Copies of this chain bind each other. A is one copy, B any other.
Amino acid sequence: MVYITRKERFSAAHRLARPDWPEEKNRLIFGKCSNPNWHGHNYSLWVTVKGEPDPETGFVANLAEISRLIKVHILDKVDHKNLDMDVDFMKGRRSTMEMLAVAIWEVLQEPLKASGCVLHRIKVRETEKNSVEYFGN
């Protein structure tokens, strides 16, 4: 079993706040991330799939195809966008790193499977200091 990872980047705006909470509570819980006029990040995204290398090609997976799937299903929707206003798969979720990683897993799992890949891990890094990893349920 070999694990193969593709790293991508995207730039997006977001804020952390519940519309059903008053601003003071959003400020208390989400701190400076609750700024009403948004803020943003250069996100890094790592997508890891696993499998046995194909004896004919030496590939676990074709990274060109994985890269294309990430572009179509994720990057085209989030890059230079607002995670809270523009992204269909984030509707109804807080745009925390945790929720973003879970959502990206849910979006990518089927297309990757259809390409013969078994998704193993989604890693999202928001700043140099903060990151999350999700391995499915």
CB pair B80 A5 closer than 8 Å: no
Does any Cβ of B come within 8 Å of A93's Cβ?
Answer: yes
Q: Which residue of B lies closest to A37 (CB)?
A: B82
Majority secondary structure of chain A interface residues (helix, strand, loop or mixed): mixed
From A5, A30, A38, A102, name the one whose CB has the most chain B CB atoms within 10 angstroms. A38
Interface size on A, residues (CB 8 A): 61
Beyond contacts A37-B86, A38-B38, A39-B81: 12 other A-B pairs, Cβ-Cβ < 8 A, are A2-B98, A2-B101, A5-B132, A11-B39, A13-B37, A16-B57, A30-B57, A35-B81, A39-B80, A53-B96, A59-B96, A59-B98
User: 4 closest pairs, A vs B, by CB?
Assistant: A40-B40, A58-B94, A58-B96, A37-B82
21 pairs, A vs B, C-beta closer than 8 Å: A1-B135, A1-B137, A2-B133, A5-B130, A6-B129, A7-B131, A16-B58, A32-B79, A35-B80, A35-B82, A37-B81, A37-B82, A37-B85, A37-B86, A41-B41, A57-B94, A58-B93, A58-B94, A58-B95, A59-B96, A67-B129
